[in-house]
């Protein structure tokens, strides 16, 4: 096929000259990845390799960092002590209904319960009588090392040992919580008057 006038300029240079113009530098076998900060080391990866193939380096501080409940999404803000992310203070164990035998974790401070996966304590085992959000609240007061239960904003009620949760009330270890007629859970405390996670921080500072 002949070259028309509109495209003839593409063929004015010979192959060697054209290759010189398109030379982007010799392939040394490595692709350099520059880190955002000039103070950090520059790393190189073999050309053609993917990130999944490259070795991953894990760096660990001298201390194991622990963050209080609700702070796991913001690791730049440390709590007063740092034993672990959102330390467990207790559990709810399903003893009746969907999810029988399963358990969910309770953290420090305010624990809102509901079916929604975004709830701090998600109980999505299939019982539609549990409110999607804020069905019940379980609070761990780390200053006094005691638990409380409080009604949520959901329309469905809960009972503790047969008593309706209408106001904030103490929550004793092994209390039976009726979240609905279908689902009952047993409360099990991990933190109590004899132990709280802050003790680990205090001992590590000594």
How do residues 31-82 score in pLDDT, each as one tens digit? 444 444 445 444 444 444 443 444 444 344 444 343 334 433 343 344 344 4
**Contact indicator for 82, 64 with CB cutoff of 8 Å:** yes
pTM of the model: 0.59
100 Cβ contact partners less than 8 Å away, ≥ 6 residues apart: 94
Residue 66 has a pLDDT of 38
Q: Is the dihedral of CA 12, 16, 19, 20 positive or negative?
A: negative
**Contact indicator for 94, 132 with CB cutoff of 8 Å:** no
For the chain, give every domain's residue range: 90-189
Residue 84 has a pLDDT of 53
| CATH number for the domain formed by residue range(s) 90-189 | 2.60.200.20
pLDDT bin (cut points 50, 70, 90) of residue 18 is very low
């Amino acid at each position: 096929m002949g070259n028309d006038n509109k495209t003839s300029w593409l063929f004015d240079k010979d192959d060697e000259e054209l290759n010189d113009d398109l030379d982007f530098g010799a392939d040394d076998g490595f692709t350099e990845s520059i880190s955002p900060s000039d103070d950090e080391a520059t790393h190189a990866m073999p050309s053609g390799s993917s990130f999944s193939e490259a070795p991953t380096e894990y760096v660990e501080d001298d201390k194991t960092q622990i963050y209080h409940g609700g702070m796991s999404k913001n690791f730049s803000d440390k709590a007063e002590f740092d034993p672990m992310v959102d330390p467990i203070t207790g559990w709810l164990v399903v003893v009746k209904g969907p999810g029988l035998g399963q358990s969910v974790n309770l953290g420090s401070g305010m624990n809102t319960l509901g079916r929604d996966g975004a709830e701090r304590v998600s109980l999505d085992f299939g019982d539609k009588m549990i409110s999607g959000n804020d069905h019940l609240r379980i609070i761990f007061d780390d200053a006094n090392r005691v638990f409380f239960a409080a009604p949520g904003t959901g329309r469905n009620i809960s009972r503790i040992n047969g008593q309706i949760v209408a106001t904030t009330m103490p929550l004793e270890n092994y209390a039976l919580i009726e979240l609905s007629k279908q689902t009952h859970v047993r409360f099990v405390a991990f933190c109590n008057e004899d132990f709280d996670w802050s003790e680990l921080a205090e001992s590590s500072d000594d």
